[in-house]
Amino acid sequence: MRLNAYLARAGIASRRGAEELIRAGRVTVNGEVAGLATFVEGKDRVEVDGAEVGPEPLTYVLLHKPAGVVTTARDPHGRPTVVGLVGHERRVVPVGRLDADTTGVLLLTNDGALAHRLMHPRYEVDKVYEVVVEGEPDDDDLTRLAEGVELDDGKTAPALVRRLEPSLLELTLHEGRKHQVKRMLAAVGHPVTRLHRSSYAGLGTDGLGPGEWRELSAEEVAALRAPGAP
C-alpha cells in the first residue's frame, strides 16, 4: 500500500495531508525517512514524529441522509456534511454522492477497495430511488425511462421502473451519473420534486430516522464483499 494511503487509513490525515507530512520529512518507515513513492507492507514499522502508526480498523457506516446535508467531508460554504453528521471516531468518507436535497441510504467507509467496487459501473450495484415528480407520467414515459433516455452525455442504461402512485415512481438504476435521476425525469417532461434513495446494494434505512446511522454488521459487510456481489 502506498504510504499516503496507509496514513489516511490510519486516520492520521487525508491523503493530501499525509503527502504534506511525508514532504516535511516527518514520516519514517523502518527508521528511514520516507518519500512520496514509499510503499508499506504488513511487517513495516511506520512512525510520524517518532510515534508508531498502526493501520486503522476498517469501518462501515450506513446513514439515513436527511435533506440539506452535503455529501462531502467538509464544505467551503459551511453547510453541514455527512461526515460531520456521523461524527465517527475513525475517518470515514462517503461512497458516491447524493445531492444536498436528496434523502436516503448512504454508505461511508475507510475501506477504499470496497468503496471503489461499489461505485464501479462494471459491478452494476443496484440503487433504488423513490421519486416524486411534477405531473403524472404515462406508460410511454415509463417505457422511455426503462429502455434508456438520451442525455447530453449519452443514453442511459436500461432501468427498472414502477409506478407507485400517479406522481410517485420507483427507479432501480445501475449507473451513477451526476444528477442522473433528475435529468432522466426532466428529459421525459416530469421534473423531480422530491428524491429519496430507498436502497443501495441491497441495504435500506429500516429502523433509522433521518440523520441516524449505524455500523454495518459483519454479515452485511461479508455480503458486499462476496464474489458476484452486490
All three cell numbers of 35, joined, read: 518519500
CA distance 168 to 148: 19
CB 226 within 8 A of CB 218: no
Q: How far is CA 203 from CA 11, 62, 63, 102, in A?
A: 26, 8, 10, 17
CA distance 177 to 42: 37
Catalytically annotated residues: 99
Q: How far is CA 181 from CA 102, 149, 202, 229, in A?
A: 11, 10, 19, 23
CA distance 15 to 10: 11
